Amino acid sequence: MIFDRGYDDSKLFEYVLSGGDDILVRLKKNRCFYFKDKKKNINEVYENRKGKIKMHLLFQGEEKDVYISYTRATLPKDNKEYTLLFVYGLGNVEKFILLTNKKIKEKQDAIKLVRIYLDRWRIETYHRSIKTE
């Protein structure tokens, strides 16, 4: 299941995971996680990393080279481990951080998850433009 920032909610994560589904959510920038047993704000972690995986894509009509970084982290309330994906290079888009319960074994896994989320975003943008016309 794929969700936007409005669904960044631990209760939702728990509900989806209890049904055996996988989750992919864009996070809000005020979220905190445990990284190596230290509680940190997601912004702090985002700013101190840089993308090591290069991905080429078409985003908002422009070709871009985007960089991805990922790490494992734990939510403070549920003690479940998740994978966080940090995406850099989308231009004027606010910090782009994704959370998933899937483990990333190779760089292609990270690229695939980012592409899946961006496909969802593209669909939503299309619907928004139709509503305004």
Per-residue confidence in pLDDT tens, the chain, 133 aa: 888 877 788 888 888 888 888 999 998 888 888 888 888 888 888 888 888 899 888 777 778 888 999 999 888 877 788 999 999 987 767 788 999 999 999 999 999 999 999 888 766 666 566 777 7
How confident is the model at residue 59, as a pLDDT?
Answer: 72
Domain hosting residue 77, numbered range = 2-132
Residue with tokens 């899937």: 102
Residues 80, 94: Cα–Cα separation, whole Å: 26
3-class state of residue 121 by DSSP: helix
How confident is the model at residue 107, as a pLDDT?
Answer: 93
What pTM, to 2 d.p., does this model score? 0.84
Domain count, the chain: 1
CATH number for the domain spanning 94: value is 3.90.350.10
How confident is the model at residue 83, as a pLDDT?
Answer: 93
Residues 130, 108: Cα–Cα separation, whole Å: 33
CA dist list (Å): 9 to 6, 30, 101: 8, 12, 14
How confident is the model at residue 47, as a pLDDT?
Answer: 86
